[in-house]
Amino acid sequence: MDGRRIDWLSRRKRDKTIVLFDMDGTLTEPRKEFSKKLLPVLNDLSEKALIGIVTGSDYDYLQEQMKTVLSSHIRYRLHLLPCNGTKHYRPPSSSDKDFELVHDKNMRDTLGDQDFHQLMRILLQTQGNLDLSEIPLTGHHIQYRGSMINWCPIGRNASSDDRKVFVDFNKKQSPTFRERIFGRLKEKLSLSQLSDKLEVKMGGDTSFDIFPKGWDKTYCLNHFQSFQSWFVGDRCEDGGNDKEIYDLLLKQNKAFKTKNPFQTELVIKEDIIPFL
């Protein structure tokens, strides 16, 4: 086999392999900006494979937290997959172009107005009945992202200090405050018969993601059906929003659980790059 044939096969493999990453807790600390310390290893990875960021957050949070990567030359090898990949932004083709939205699902259209409004009423009632006397309450509790709803009991306007107070408070409870709310919400959805249509997942450290069945992070694999896909995430336990895609790709030994961006760097260096 001559050198040109080997180079062609190498490029083809590189362009048909994608390594998917969760964002909060995996590439960044929750709701924090991406650390430049991780940029060299991502750059090395981009020489071997495409990169995808699949997150429950919407595009605006991706832009805010990952702006260092989005402005680097990695952007030409980077697929953005907000809202569990129900939105897909393709890499730009040149420096004067931006990421291109090529796929977008709508939760309200899928559920219908009646079920969508019922879900909103349940969330508002549940929020109003919570005892939040010991934790911060900051506003912007429900965010509709088109293909999912994010419900944050302390509010998405929470500062880093507010979030820390909540996380510390949550850890002291057994079962945790979030686990109790999770169970309460699922019970209400069951009584309203919406549980057959919706999934609830713990998003990040403070919130919950609610979306139609089948719209978990495995959804993003629809965009890469002929690819060899890998995944790295931190919320791989029951109820975590990385569990389904982690379990699916773990069967192929192509999924890794991480605890923080520092460990993610080690996973990339030791468990992924050597095998690409």
Query: Do 132 and 268 fall within a single domain?
Result: no
pLDDT: which is higher, 167 or 218:
218
Contact predicate 64/31, CB 8 Å:
no
Query: Do 269 and 230 fall within a single domain?
Result: yes
Contact predicate 22/55, CB 8 Å:
yes
Q: Among all residues, which ones are annotated catalytic?
A: 22, 24
CA distance 16 to 13: 5
pLDDT at 172 over 50: yes
For 233-269, letters b (16+ CB in 10 Å) and e give: bbbbeeebbbbbbbebbeeeebbbbbeebeebbebbe
Query: Do 205 and 262 fall within a single domain?
Result: no
What's the mean per-residue pLDDT of the chain? 92
Query: Do 174 and 129 fall within a single domain?
Result: yes
Contact predicate 69/42, CB 8 Å:
yes
| Domain edge (last residue) among 194, 212, 230 | 212
| Domain edge (last residue) among 163, 182, 212 | 212
The CATH number linked to 222 is 3.40.50.1000
Helix axes 177-191, 113-128, angle to 10 degrees: 140
Confidence class for position 134, pLDDT limits 50, 70, 90: confident
Query: Do 208 and 113 fall within a single domain?
Result: yes
Query: Do 140 and 153 fall within a single domain?
Result: yes
pLDDT at 3 over 70: no
Name 116's Cβ contacts closer than 8 Å, sequence gap at least 6: 107, 108
| Domain edge (last residue) among 212, 244, 267 | 212
pLDDT at 267: 98
The CATH number linked to 182 is 3.30.1240.20
Mean pLDDT on 243-266: 97
Query: Do 101 and 149 fall within a single domain?
Result: no
Domain count, the chain: 2
> Which range among 5-9, 120-124, 229-233 shows the weakest confidence by mean pLDDT?
5-9
pLDDT at 6 over 60: no
Contact predicate 143/152, CB 8 Å:
yes
CA distance 170 to 142: 20
- C-alpha dihedral (205, 211, 213, 218), degrees to nearest 10: -60
Model confidence, pTM:
0.87
Query: Do 127 and 248 fall within a single domain?
Result: no
pLDDT at 175 over 80: yes
Strands 228-233 and 255-257: parallel
Query: Do 117 and 203 fall within a single domain?
Result: yes
Q: Give me the domain span that covers residue 133.
A: 107-212
